Amino acid sequence: MGKSLNEAAKNFIEDEEQYLWMFDKDGKLVAKEEESVAKLLEIRKGENQTGVYYVRTGRGDLYDPYGTYQMTRNTMSLFPFAKTEKPVFDLYIKYLKQSKSKFYTMARREYLNRRVK
């Protein structure tokens, strides 16, 4: 009985695939984490797919790559990645790609509303 449980656990672990997508200040894919402002960890297991979403935050708010603290090596340590939810992530990526402040405002509001709950 113990052997079959171990085999089942091994099959469970082996079937999972993880992909990390990192996005820069323009919403483009990048390979280096220090250049990224948002990350998506995609987890695929068989037919199921889930995502874990991260955005840079600091001082209780979303990082604005076009704002006061534009991304430099000196300021990146002030803005660690924080786990968030898909609606926040999607709006933030839309802001990065289109540079329209309304999407940043919507992402910030969604982020703050979800933190309060």
List the domain boundaries for the chain. 15-116
Render each residue's pLDDT in the chain as its tens digit; 117 residues: 445 556 655 555 557 899 999 999 999 999 999 889 999 999 999 889 999 999 999 888 999 988 877 766 567 778 999 999 999 999 999 999 999 999 999 999 999 998 765
* Residue 97, both tokens: 């790609």
Residues 6 or more apart whose Cβ sits within 8 Å of residue 96: 23, 24, 25, 26, 27, 37, 38, 65
Tokens 């990224």, residue located: 36
Tokens 């990065």, residue located: 96
* Residue 101, both tokens: 């402040």
pLDDT of residue 1: 47
